[in-house]
Structure 1
């Protein structure tokens, strides 16, 4: 076990926990998409670590592509305005598309992204999220087909998740100490 970063309050999911979740999700996706034309689309930058592990856990042929969107502006809450900064390089028409997300919070950005991708006429369009944040009293705008696990409504970092572009390289997911971001 790697030493905990001094800015991290507690570790929620260890490297071993993450590996088990990714393996389970890879098996589910492999079973569901066997014999189909699957394209994984990662939303940059947070999902890139999860995407790398997930695609190696999938046993059927898979293509990958990336999108980058901006929806937060300067704050920690979504502005509701989504801009596509990097679009897909491949055509998804008639193909099975699985959006790979690091964390699902409100789901507003993802809902916009799904509407945009649906207009390109894929054969199917689903979501795989590593974490689904439990926000009390709120229902996410999107229901993912595949979920690594639920996590508390806390500021989580590691395994691709960042605060101010830091902590993405931590091999676990932990809760950031409030004094770091307040």
Structure 2
């Protein structure tokens, strides 16, 4: 599939994302003023969003990375495991978990509980996209870029078949494109 010739439904344009990043960065900077902020980026999907987000945060920030994996049978997610954990002691830090998207919220719920067990001062979440209609656990992200409908989305870090993370906007992939 040649990305230059595709016509996709753009859900979040480059300009909308840039504006939202500035807004989120300002709010997070205000909320974490005087605190010891540690951002935990959930790989791989959040790396672009997280990099752009932290460049919009004006308070000192330390960055760590985690990799998680969902497992189950077919399309049914029955659990989440930590593949690669943070490499530092979280005591004394206010942790902000950054992810690309929250839909079922199973991953974010698991990561929040996992990191809370490491005794940080606080744990909050920030996502680029939120699909509340897909929730399987009760969770509302503390910071959210865009709330979207239940559509299959790609771009700006989100992948399809390990491709398209580099597209600078978020778009809907229809069944005919898959």
TM-score (norm 1): 0.90
Deviations 1:7-49 (A, max 9, x none): 5531111100000011000000000001110000010000000
Q: In 1, are the aligned partners of 2:106 and 2:136 still within 8 Å (CA)?
A: no
Matches within 5 A, 1:75-86: 75=74, 77=75, 79-86=77-84
How far 1:134 moved relative to its partner? 3.8
Q: In 1, are the aligned partners of 2:96 and 2:123 still within 8 Å (CA)?
A: yes
Partner SS state of residue 131, structure 2: strand
| Aligned pairs, number | 177
Change (3 A) 1:13 1:74: farther
Partner SS state of residue 93, structure 1: coil
Partner of 2:120: 122
Partner of 2:157: 160
Partner SS state of residue 131, structure 1: strand
RMSD of the TM alignment (CA)? 2.0
Partner of 2:176: 179
Change (3 A) 1:20 1:121: same
Change (3 A) 1:72 1:17: farther
Partner of 2:18: 19
Partner SS state of residue 30, structure 2: helix
Cα distance in 1 for partners of 2:141, 2:49 equals: 15
Structure 1 gaps of 5+ residues are none
Q: In 1, are the aligned partners of 2:79 and 2:106 still within 8 Å (CA)?
A: no
Structure 2 gaps of 5+ residues are none
Matches within 5 A, 1:25-36: 25-36=24-35
How far 1:152 moved relative to its partner? 1.4
Cα distance in 1 for partners of 2:22, 2:100 equals: 15
Deviations 1:124-157 (A, max 9, x none): 0000111101427x57532111111101110000
Matches within 5 A, 1:23-172: 23-72=22-71, 75=74, 77=75, 79-135=77-133, 138=135, 141-172=138-169
Partner SS state of residue 117, structure 1: helix
Cα distance in 2 for partners of 1:37, 1:113 equals: 19
Q: In 1, are the aligned partners of 2:70 and 2:107 still within 8 Å (CA)?
A: yes
